């Protein structure tokens, strides 16, 4: 019996001067008009041609200025320092496409639930039910300072707040019944009894309503999450419909896949209705030599400062303040308030209970190509590996990163997509018009998220 599953494909993007690979803006083939709508709309058309399910935008609310408490070198090196508003970019891309899902990051630590609910609900209407919200708790003190706070909230406390944040956002999205709108010019605009106040009063949030955005074409935006720590995975198992993850190899991916699917089931949800997708890079050419040449060009673009600046941002620690070979103490490791998943990954990959700064640089891969698995070679070579991971239950799809914009995606669409389609593991066309339809998820129903 053939496997009915199909690979879900997500493009990993940034609303700024580079892709997730910071050196990408230097690539000779990368376009530099990133402050124009044409740049993002061009990307949308490429991805929709390749039947990608989602174009996803990562985000931070501060530039990487934790390293040596200074921003100048990061700015001059273009280390993810431009960060445009993702909801605007989502709309711009959505208007240049008709089927491609568009996902953007929104923080539960620095935004209010009503704001997120309204912004993403509006985008979902504007692009015809194709929006997704990537839920993050933010990571560093720079973000705190930009929002008038002295320090960033403790890691686990952020997730406790985020659980209630989700209840408020989803609660607001539920307050308009699907058939509340009437728009009868001779009578009522809407049925007032089918629009409700939320009246939420919880430990962290209060929000009354009534909500101001009607029920959207797919019921509500799709929920994305990428928590890598124990608490983050618990949060993802409870709320996410699309889970991004970071893995080292196929064996690690299989173990992570089984663990997360088990956690979803333990949370009382159907694991088959949640997509798990690891990040990866693809370098493909008509010959292996061509693929190797593409890899070599991109690999040469990374600089040491990229890694140190991005590590300081993600871990919320100034890596310029500690000698390269001095181990972190137990107390110092416990006080790192940023991405606990990255911290834990460095400890696991290094085999050291107390890693050094050099270990963080070496084993995180931050800012370099080996931060994620690399599929490299001819279209057959790349498809062989992607199919092996997928059929081996190491993933349900991929978060495809690139090192040149839009050329990396153009190569994948032109060379790899037809090979995956020929093998029957990747769809030849979209199932419908909404993101939920195209991910194989049911239309959202009021209250279906409640446990």
Let me know the angle formed at the C-alpha of 28 by 22 and 34, rounded to the nearest 5 degrees. 60
CA-only gyration radius of the chain, Å: 22
Both structure tokens of 43: 């990307």
pLDDT in tens, 80-91: 999 999 999 999
**Predicted confidence band at 334 (pLDDT cuts at 50, 70, 90)?**
confident
C-alpha closest to that of 20 among 260, 296, 298: 298
- Looking at residue 349, its pLDDT comes to 84
d(CA 168, CA 211): 11
Q: State the CATH class of domain 8-294+370-439.
A: alpha beta
Average pLDDT over residues 267-277: 97
pLDDT in tens, 7-60: 999 999 999 999 989 999 999 999 999 999 999 999 999 999 999 999 999 999
Give domain limits for the chain: 8-294+370-439
Strand pairing report for 242-245 and 131-136: unpaired
Both structure tokens of 449: 């998220």
**Predicted confidence band at 258 (pLDDT cuts at 50, 70, 90)?**
very high
Q: Who contacts 95 (Cβ-Cβ below 8 Å, separation ≥6)? A: 41, 126, 127
**What secondary structure does DSSP assign to 241-304, as a single string?**
SEEEE--SSHHHHHHHHHHHHHHHHHTTS-GGGSEEEEEEEEEE-SSHHHHHHHHHHHHTT--H
Within the chain, what is the greatest distance between any pair of CA atoms?
76
* 3-state DSSP assignment of residue 321: helix
Residue 338 scores a pLDDT above 80: no
In this prediction the pTM is 0.93
Phi/psi of residue 200, nearest 5 degrees? -85, 130
Contact 59, 137 (CB under 8 A): no
pLDDT in tens, 105-140: 999 999 999 999 999 999 999 999 999 999 999 988
**Predicted confidence band at 3 (pLDDT cuts at 50, 70, 90)?**
low
C-alpha closest to that of 405 among 53, 75, 128, 78: 78
C-alpha closest to that of 429 among 97, 52, 130, 42: 52
Contact 398, 16 (CB under 8 A): no
State the sign of the Cα–Cα–Cα–Cα dihedral 234, 240, 245, 249. positive
Average pLDDT over residues 332-361: 86
Residue 343 or 187, more confident:
187
Residue 446 scores a pLDDT above 80: yes
d(CA 13, CA 100): 14
pLDDT in tens, 178-202: 999 999 999 999 999 999 999 999 9
Residues above pLDDT 90, as percent of the chain: 82
- Looking at residue 249, its pLDDT comes to 96
C-alpha closest to that of 375 among 296, 298, 299, 291: 291
d(CA 232, CA 224): 12
Taking the CB of residue 367, how many other CB atoms lie within 10 A of it? 25
Q: In DSSP terms, which residues pair with 105 in a beta bridge?
A: 134
Distance in angstroms between the alpha carbons of the first and the last residue of the chain: 34
d(CA 254, CA 10): 19
Residue 345 scores a pLDDT above 90: no
Q: Who contacts 233 (Cβ-Cβ below 8 Å, separation ≥6)? A: 227, 259, 260, 263
Residue 248 scores a pLDDT above 80: yes
d(CA 109, CA 139): 9
Residue 2 scores a pLDDT above 50: no
**Predicted confidence band at 341 (pLDDT cuts at 50, 70, 90)?**
confident
State the sign of the Cα–Cα–Cα–Cα dihedral 126, 131, 133, 134. negative
Average pLDDT over residues 319-329: 91
* Burial of residue 388 (number of CB atoms within 10 Å: 0-12, 13-18, 19+): exposed
C-alpha closest to that of 273 among 405, 430, 403, 442: 442
- Helical ranges in 71-223 per DSSP H: 72-77, 86-94, 113-126, 141-146, 155-173
Residue 1 scores a pLDDT above 50: no
**Segment holding 377, helix H or strand E:** strand 374-377
CA–chain centroid gap for 345, Å, is 18
Q: In DSSP terms, which residues pair with 258 in a beta bridge?
A: none
pLDDT in tens, 387-420: 999 999 999 999 999 999 999 999 999 999 999 9
- Looking at residue 4, its pLDDT comes to 83
């Amino acid at each position: 019996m053939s496997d009915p599953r199909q690979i879900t494909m997500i493009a990993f993007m940034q609303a700024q001067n580079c892709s997730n690979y910071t050196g990408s803006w230097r690539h000779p083939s990368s376009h530099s008009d990133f402050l124009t709508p044409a740049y993002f709309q061009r990307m949308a058309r490429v991805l929709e041609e390749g039947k990608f399910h989602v174009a996803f935008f990562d985000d931070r609310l501060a530039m990487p200025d934790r390293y040596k408490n200074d921003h100048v070198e990061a700015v001059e090196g273009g280390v993810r320092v431009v960060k445009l508003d993702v909801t605007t970019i989502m709309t711009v891309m959505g208007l240049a496409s008709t089927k491609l899902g568009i996902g953007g990051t929104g923080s539960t630590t620095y935004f209010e639930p009503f704001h997120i609910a309204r912004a993403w609900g509006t985008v979902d209407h504007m692009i015809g039910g194709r929006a997704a919200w990537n839920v993050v708790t933010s990571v560093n003190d720079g973000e705190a300072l930009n929002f008038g706070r002295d320090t960033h909230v403790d890691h686990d406390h952020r997730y406790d707040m985020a659980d209630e944040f989700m209840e408020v956002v989803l609660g607001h999205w539920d307050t308009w019944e699907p058939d509340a709108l009437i728009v009868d010019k001779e009578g009522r605009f809407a049925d007032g009894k089918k629009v409700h106040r939320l009246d939420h009063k919880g430990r962290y949030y209060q929000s009354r309503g009534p909500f101001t955005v009607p029920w959207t074409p797919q019921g509500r935006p799709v929920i994305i999450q990428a928590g890598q720590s124990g608490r983050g995975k618990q949060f993802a198992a409870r709320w996410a419909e699309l889970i991004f993850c970071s893995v080292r190899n196929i064996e690690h991916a299989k173990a992570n896949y089984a663990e997360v699917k088990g956690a979803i089931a333990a949370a009382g949800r159907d694991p088959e209705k949640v997509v798990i997708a690891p990040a990866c890079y693809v370098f493909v050419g008509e010959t292996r030599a061509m693929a190797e040449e593409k890899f070599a060009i991109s690999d040469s673009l990374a600089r040491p400062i990229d890694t140190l600046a991005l590590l300081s941002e993600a871990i919320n620690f100034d890596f310029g303040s500690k000698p390269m070979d001095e181990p972190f103490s137990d107390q110092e490791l416990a006080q790192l308030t940023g991405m606990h998943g990255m911290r834990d990954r460095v400890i696991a990959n290094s085999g050291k209970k107390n890693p050094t700064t050099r270990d963080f640089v070496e084993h995180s891969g931050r800012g370099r190509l080996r931060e994620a698995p690399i599929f490299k070679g001819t279209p057959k070579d790349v498809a062989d590996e992607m199919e092996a991971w997928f059929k081996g239950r190491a993933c349900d799809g991929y978060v495809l990163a690139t090192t040149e914009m839009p050329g990396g995606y153009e190569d994948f669409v032109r060379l790899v997509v037809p090979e995956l389609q020929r093998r029957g593991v990747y769809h030849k066309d979209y199932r419908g018009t909404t993101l939920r339809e195209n991910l194989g998820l049911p239309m959202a129903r009021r209250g279906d998220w409640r446990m």
